[in-house]
Structure 1
Amino acid sequence: MTAPLLVARDLRCSFTSGGRHVAALDGVSLTIAPGETLGLVGGSGCGKSTLARVLTRLIAPEGGSVTFMSDDWLALGGNRLRAARRHMQMVFQDPLAAFNPRATVGGVIADALRIHAVVPGAVRSKEVARLIDRVGLPSALLGRSIRDISGGQRQRVAIARAIAVRPRLIILDEAVSALDVSVRGRILDLLVGLQRETGVAYLFISHDLAVVRAVSQRIAVMAAGRIVEEGPAAGVIAAPSSSVLVDLIGAVPRLNGIPPS
């Protein structure tokens, strides 16, 4: 049996808002297998984005553990952490905030290749051109400012940057929710194709159950900082056991009462 790629156990994280203590993560546990897509759904404020930031070490949890690629992920530091970071990448809802606003499209991708020494400098330009083509963008965009392209194009650049370092896991936090329907479909097709080609795993976070169902092998449901339901995507949607998932299914007409194929 293949070992899990990522195992999170009993993650806890809290903050204070308006003088009130909020448990953003209240003992969250999950696993992701190599090459798998785990969809994570739940309403606003349930802890999905906090979990993403804990897993990527953008914020530190107050308790719990994460094992990634057999390493104690939360204990890594220094050079070991810098080397390991290439294997876990993240794509945000609005990647503009994660980019250097003065950077060009080509520069964003080239920087990732340079920082992680993925390919020799002599072939870096060729690799940038390959990656931009792989995400379906024209090479004419390489010299454009990242601020001067559309939201859908920026999201493709963010995906190109993420896959440039050949990660084992990409965490996508509401990565398609701000896009129009036609662009969203093309991005989802791109992600599925990349997974088939490279074997990358995804943690796909969204409030949109229909989108999650389209790309995920398993689904986990969050509410109030906890995982309240988890299982194979088809089975979970066909027979929900939590009120949270029942409400999410009811909000999507094409899923309501229709077993997934």
Structure 2
Amino acid sequence: MTEPLLVARDLRRGFASGGRRVAALDGVSLAIAPGETLGLVGGSGCGKSTLARVLTRLVAPEGGSIAFMGDDWLALGGGRLRAARRHMQMVFQDPLAAFNPRATVGGVIADALRIHAMVPKAGRAAEAARLIDRVGLPSGLTGRSIRDISGGQRQRVAIARAIAVRPRLVILDEAVSALDVSVRGRILELLVGLQRETGVGYLFISHDLAVVRAVSHRIAVMAAGRIVEEGPAAGVIAAPSSDVLIDLIGAVPRLTGIIRPERSEDRQDDAY
């Protein structure tokens, strides 16, 4: 049996809101295997984004544990944490805050290659250009300021930066919500193709059940800081047991033309 890539147990995190304590995470547990996509759905404010930030250690949990690639993720520090961060990347809903606003499109990706020593200095510009092309952006954007491109283009740059360092896990928090339908389809095809080639795992967070259904092996449903339903994507959609999922299914438009995900045992790091 394949060892899990990520295992989170009983994660808890609260915030003060309006003079009271709100449990953003109230005992959340989940696991993701190599080459697997876990779709995470739920309404606004249910805790999805807080979970993403806790898993990436942007926010500290108040309780629980996280194991990543066999290590105690919350105990890592210093050089070990910096090295391990390469293997867990995140793409935010609005990536502008995660970029240096003075950076160029090519510079954003080249910086990731430099920080994680992925490519020698002489080859960084060419590798950045290749990745920009892979996410469907024109090569002419390479020298443009990150502030001067559209939100959808920035999102594709964020995805290019995430895959540039050949991660083991990518957390995508509403990562395709700002893209138009045709671009969204191409990016989803890219993500599924990379997974088949490299065995990368995804936590795909969205309120859009149609997109999640198209790319996920399993689906987990969040409500009020808890996972209230989880199972294989087809089974969960066919027989929902939570009111949250029933409501989401009722709002799903048809989404066609997306390649269904498949596990791959053949992982080729240079496939990125």
TM range (shorter): over 0.9
Q: Is the 8 A contact 2:155 2:178 kept in 1?
A: no
1:156 matches 2:156: yes
1:122 matches 2:122: yes
Q: With the length of structure 1 as denominator, give the TM-score of the two structures.
A: 0.95
1:183 matches 2:183: yes
Q: Tell me, in whole angstroms, the C-alpha distance in 2 between the residues paired with 1:252 and 1:120.
A: 46
In structure 2, the residue matched to 1:233 is: 233
> More displaced, 178-187 or 162-171?
178-187
Mapping of residues 127-142 of structure 1, within 5 Å:
127-142=127-142
> More displaced, 88-97 or 130-139?
130-139
Mapping of residues 9-28 of structure 1, within 5 Å:
9-28=9-28
In structure 2, the residue matched to 1:147 is: 147
In structure 2, the residue matched to 1:78 is: 78
Q: Tell me, in whole angstroms, the C-alpha distance in 1 between the residues paired with 2:253 and 2:102.
A: 43
> More displaced, 147-156 or 51-60?
147-156
CA deviations on 1:182-234 (whole Å, 9 max, x unpaired) are 22222222222222232211100001111100110100000010000000000
Q: Which structure 1 residue ranges, 5 or more long, are not aligned?
A: none
In structure 2, the residue matched to 1:113 is: 113
Q: Which amino acid aligns with 2:219?
A: I
Q: Which structure 2 residue ranges, 5 or more long, are not aligned?
A: 261-272
Give the match's secondary structure for 2:74. helix
Deviation at 1:20, TM superposition (A): 1.4
Q: Which amino acid aligns with 1:38?
A: L
CA deviations on 1:97-119 (whole Å, 9 max, x unpaired) are 11111100000000000011112
Q: Which amino acid aligns with 1:4?
A: P
Give the match's secondary structure for 2:184. helix
> More displaced, 239-248 or 63-72?
239-248
> More displaced, 205-214 or 125-134?
125-134
In structure 1, the residue matched to 2:197 is: 197
Q: Tell me, in whole angstroms, the C-alpha distance in 1 between the residues paired with 2:101 and 2:57.
A: 23
1:104 matches 2:104: yes
Percent identity (aligned): 90
Give the match's secondary structure for 1:10. strand
Q: Tell me, in whole angstroms, the C-alpha distance in 2 between the residues paired with 1:137 and 1:7.
A: 35
RMSD of the alignment, in Å?
1.4
Q: Is the 8 A contact 2:210 2:253 kept in 1?
A: no
Give the match's secondary structure for 2:59. coil
Q: Tell me, in whole angstroms, the C-alpha distance in 1 between the residues paired with 2:176 and 2:15.
A: 27
In structure 1, the residue matched to 2:269 is: none
In structure 1, the residue matched to 2:50 is: 50
In structure 1, the residue matched to 2:248 is: 248
